[in-house]
Chain A
Amino acid sequence: MTPAVEFRRVSKTFGVTRAVNDLSLTIARGEFFSLLGPSGCGKTTTLRLLAGFEAPDPGGAILIDGADVTMMRPYQRNLSMVFQSYALFPHLSVERNVAFGLEQRKLPRAGIIPRVRQALELVRLDPDTFSRRMPSQLSGGQRQRVALARALVLEPAILLLDEPLGATDLKLRKEMQLELKALNRRLGITFVYVTHDQEEALTMSDRIAVMDDARVAQLGTPAEIYENPRTAFVAGFIGASNFVEGRTGGRADGRWTVRRPDGLLFRVPDQPGLHDGMTVRVAVRPEWMDLFRPDQVPPEGNAISGSVREVIYLGETMHVIVDIAEGESLTVALRNEGQLIKPLPWQAGDRVAVGWLPEDCQVLEDH
């Protein structure tokens, strides 16, 4: 099956800065694909390259539905886009805004009006109330919906979205995230979504490309990215992570033993690329760790002893910060079962053991 979008060795340089560096990836038809990363990582440039607002450096190619579009202008590519600032035309009414693309295709007026109505209903804006209004008379959320309607009315195969929820407040954002996901499923359109919000990407995407410094750090499903991060950057950017380091020394039962500088041993699962005597960095998520009394550590798991520095109340979870060595600490996330009825037994100063299962470790590719 031809992928909807393909990037082949695409780079983009602005002056002396490399914004995108040798990028190759494919996006499947109907997929909700996110480009995720901090500002300056190259995700927006990648989207703009796909849209055609920038041309890649010579040597790279961009394909849509198997056809090479690298040399084509945006209006020659069959794409739709929702902009971060919505980019509604202030001098045109809502109706004329949504109809713009259809008018460009020289559709007859009679054919345009019902499609505009449909598009507005699709984004849950009543056509009779909103058609004649001007953008300046709309709220932020309404403008967002008009921008979406304007893009969807063209029934595109691919929809590009450039951080469209950036300016929305939290509650509305959650709502819109679910609506966008539902639209993707219902209409079968390929969504290419740019965001810096990792929670958003995890919620909506089928696959995520995490970008850092003009490259893709990791590409995978939300579960793969979250549970098996490959680099320290991905582990730290998506959710929170604890990091422990050590040297490998001996393998048994499909597990490697890792020795810390202070002599402590813990076990990690076998991965290709591991050999004896390597320095490794291991990531473990706070929610996969647990706290025990120093003498009550379960034998099959890993454990590091330390003392509690702080207990932080976060509502849904409790974070316990444990100092394990000079300048080193681990954060353990425990479910809050109600501090008023079932409080945690841990307090600052307590000596504890932090334990976790070897399977919950992730040996990172950079060390």
Chain B
Amino acid sequence: MTDRRRRLLAWLGRRPALQAWALIAPAGLWLLLFFLVPILLMTGYSVMPRGTYGGVESGFTLEHYARFFDPLYLAILGRTVVVALLCTVLCLLLGYPVAWVIARSRRWRNLLMFLVVLPFWTSFLVRTFAMIFLLRDTGLINTMLLSLGLIEAPLTLLYTPFAVLAGMVYSFLPFMILPIYASLEKLDPSLLEAASVLGARPAARFRRVVLPLSMPGVVAGCLLVFIPALGSFLPSDLLGGAKQMLIGNLIQNQFAAARHWPFGSAASTVVMAGVLAGVLLYLRTRDRPAPAMPG
């Protein structure tokens, strides 16, 4: 047995490409069949006419994409993009300082990092519910404000754009912090000392040394927040109510109550196209050479 095994391995050993593909095959096939093919199928559905029960029947039509020019759906698209952008900006403003502090600290670095990573991995659903618990009319914030006499009637915090945004920032913040931390960590402290010796004050040091060098991390973080935010579903579903419909909710709706699979597929394809555009943009910015000196 061992001898046969040895001969097989020796034969394989001389064919490194075959070896590699043998290792790749299981995962590769799985991803091909259960990730790539479904998405292609979904794109195919998006150009087929709707069948009687909400599925598809044979044919080719672009009517589902044409529907997006309807003001109702344009509004949803627009709202999704705006909310995703706002979420990205907020995450950047809140996340950069955190990344900076973690990168600076030596003693507490592991703990601080763990406390950022932890929410990243715990249940999205539970965290969204925690927001509900705080924000609803009978929730903690309202109850506290009422009992302190600061307000007379409960504030409507839930089912507002504010709640959706808060929920999204809450979920996506770690995605912004981690890449920025990664690029700040690589920053050589002697660069700041050199800048200091050359006469730069803290604000200038940040603007002219730290910020430019952390740009790759900032760009990565922004894309890592913006792209998934486009397809976001749970925050708007649980915290926004019917009025704050984003594309993610529209898609879910088409596959549940509205029973319109082709239209839902079309909306999904649009989101996917946005995601791929974002990824390509990211890959482009990574390869771009450094900008030349002005003047």
Chain A interface residue count, Cβ-Cβ cutoff 8 angstroms = 5
* A73 interface residue per 8 A CB criterion: yes
- The complex places the Cα of A71 from the Cα of B13 at a distance, in Å, of 10
Q: With both chains docked as a complex, state the minimum distance between the C-beta of B57 and any C-beta of chain A, in angstroms.
A: 51
With a CB–CB cut-off of 8 A, which chain B residues contact A208?
none
Interface residues of A in 56-111 (CB under 8 A from B): 71-73, 76
* A35 interface residue per 8 A CB criterion: no
With a CB–CB cut-off of 8 A, which chain A residues contact B14?
55, 71, 73
Is chain B's binding surface mostly helix, strand, loop or mixed?
helix
* B145 interface residue per 8 A CB criterion: no
Interface flags for B4-18 (1: CB within 8 Å of A; 0: not) read 000001100110000
Smallest CB-CB separation from A55: which chain B residue?
Answer: B14
Q: With both chains docked as a complex, state the minimum distance between the C-beta of B267 and any C-beta of chain A, in angstroms.
A: 45
- The complex places the Cα of A55 from the Cα of B15 at a distance, in Å, of 10
Q: With both chains docked as a complex, state the minimum distance between the C-beta of B5 and any C-beta of chain A, in angstroms.
A: 12
With a CB–CB cut-off of 8 A, which chain A residues contact B9?
73
Chain B interface residue count, Cβ-Cβ cutoff 8 angstroms = 4
Q: With both chains docked as a complex, state the minimum distance between the C-beta of A210 and any C-beta of chain B, in angstroms.
A: 31
- The complex places the Cα of A72 from the Cα of B9 at a distance, in Å, of 11
- The complex places the Cα of A285 from the Cα of B11 at a distance, in Å, of 52
With a CB–CB cut-off of 8 A, which chain B residues contact A72?
10
Smallest CB-CB separation from A53: which chain B residue?
Answer: B13
A55, A72, A73, A76 interface centre (most CB from chain B within 10 Å): A73
- The complex places the Cα of A55 from the Cα of B9 at a distance, in Å, of 15
Interface residues of A in 22-81 (CB under 8 A from B): 55, 71-73, 76
- The complex places the Cα of A192 from the Cα of B273 at a distance, in Å, of 58
Q: With both chains docked as a complex, state the minimum distance between the C-beta of B7 and any C-beta of chain A, in angstroms.
A: 10
Q: With both chains docked as a complex, state the minimum distance between the C-beta of A11 and any C-beta of chain B, in angstroms.
A: 16
Interface flags for B225-256 (1: CB within 8 Å of A; 0: not) read 00000000000000000000000000000000
Interface flags for B248-279 (1: CB within 8 Å of A; 0: not) read 00000000000000000000000000000000
- The complex places the Cα of A71 from the Cα of B14 at a distance, in Å, of 8
Q: With both chains docked as a complex, state the minimum distance between the C-beta of A14 and any C-beta of chain B, in angstroms.
A: 12
With a CB–CB cut-off of 8 A, which chain A residues contact B13?
73
Q: With both chains docked as a complex, state the minimum distance between the C-beta of B26 and any C-beta of chain A, in angstroms.
A: 25
- The complex places the Cα of A55 from the Cα of B10 at a distance, in Å, of 12
- The complex places the Cα of A76 from the Cα of B14 at a distance, in Å, of 13
With a CB–CB cut-off of 8 A, which chain B residues contact A73?
9-10, 13-14
Q: With both chains docked as a complex, state the minimum distance between the C-beta of B15 and any C-beta of chain A, in angstroms.
A: 10
- The complex places the Cα of A71 from the Cα of B9 at a distance, in Å, of 12
Smallest CB-CB separation from B16: which chain A residue?
Answer: A55
- The complex places the Cα of A242 from the Cα of B9 at a distance, in Å, of 54
With a CB–CB cut-off of 8 A, which chain B residues contact A55?
14
- The complex places the Cα of A72 from the Cα of B11 at a distance, in Å, of 9
Q: With both chains docked as a complex, state the minimum distance between the C-beta of B211 and any C-beta of chain A, in angstroms.
A: 38
- The complex places the Cα of A73 from the Cα of B14 at a distance, in Å, of 8
- The complex places the Cα of A73 from the Cα of B13 at a distance, in Å, of 7
Smallest CB-CB separation from A74: which chain B residue?
Answer: B13
Smallest CB-CB separation from B12: which chain A residue?
Answer: A73
- The complex places the Cα of A71 from the Cα of B10 at a distance, in Å, of 9
Interface flags for A109-121 (1: CB within 8 Å of B; 0: not) read 0000000000000
Smallest CB-CB separation from B9: which chain A residue?
Answer: A73
Smallest CB-CB separation from A76: which chain B residue?
Answer: B10
Q: With both chains docked as a complex, state the minimum distance between the C-beta of B14 and any C-beta of chain A, in angstroms.
A: 6
Smallest CB-CB separation from B13: which chain A residue?
Answer: A73
Smallest CB-CB separation from A52: which chain B residue?
Answer: B13
- The complex places the Cα of A219 from the Cα of B235 at a distance, in Å, of 74
With a CB–CB cut-off of 8 A, which chain B residues contact A76?
10
- The complex places the Cα of A73 from the Cα of B8 at a distance, in Å, of 11
Q: With both chains docked as a complex, state the minimum distance between the C-beta of A103 and any C-beta of chain B, in angstroms.
A: 15
Q: With both chains docked as a complex, state the minimum distance between the C-beta of A7 and any C-beta of chain B, in angstroms.
A: 19
- The complex places the Cα of A146 from the Cα of B14 at a distance, in Å, of 30
Q: With both chains docked as a complex, state the minimum distance between the C-beta of A344 and any C-beta of chain B, in angstroms.
A: 44
Q: Which 3 A-B pairs have the closest CB atoms?
A: A73-B10, A73-B13, A55-B14
8 contacts between A and B (CB under 8 A): A55-B14, A71-B14, A72-B10, A73-B9, A73-B10, A73-B13, A73-B14, A76-B10
A72-B10, A73-B14 known; 6 other A-B pairs, CB under 8 Å? A55-B14, A71-B14, A73-B9, A73-B10, A73-B13, A76-B10
